[in-house]
Amino acid sequence: MSYRVGIGYDIHKLTKRRELFLGGVKIPYKKGLLGHSDGDVVLHAICDALLGAIGEKDLGELFPDRDPKYKGISSSLILKEVFDLVKEKDYEINNIDIVIVAEFPRLEPFKTKISENISKMLEASQNSVNVKAKTNQKIGEIGKGKAISSFAVCLLKKR
């Protein structure tokens, strides 16, 4: 059996007058993530991990923020397109490990819902999608509550 691994990362500033989406889940908070799309750093990190695992270009090249057709797009739709590429190359999800780094809001109550949503989008079992939430210990822009970042590692297996 053939396996491929990929890693992804994303960070966006928090801003007022935007909704906060993480892992495709709307999180109640006073700010959202600034971005050309909905700014979902979790789904963006997953997309880059998947693209890396299949040897494709990165998210910014495939879905450029200069292209008006992606303005305000749901990152769930972007993930669907990326996952279609994964399936075209005849791979499936073995597992994904995700770290969300945010000082605020506290994400503990949302981790299971995020995991469930991602596993559904990627046609994977829920126990193959792990979500962890960390703070940045008040260090840097994330620690000051001005940004949120996410890391994702995936392992794909040939069908």
- Per-residue pLDDT of the chain (159 residues), as tens digits, is 899 999 999 999 999 999 999 999 999 999 999 999 999 999 999 999 999 999 999 999 999 989 998 899 999 999 999 999 999 999 999 999 999 999 999 999 999 999 999 999 999 999 999 999 999 999 999 999 999 999 999 999 999
Map out the domains of the chain with their CATH numbers.
3-158 (3.30.1330.50)
pTM above 0.85, yes or no: yes
pLDDT at 60: 92
For residue 133 the two structure tokens come to 């939430």
pLDDT at 1: 85
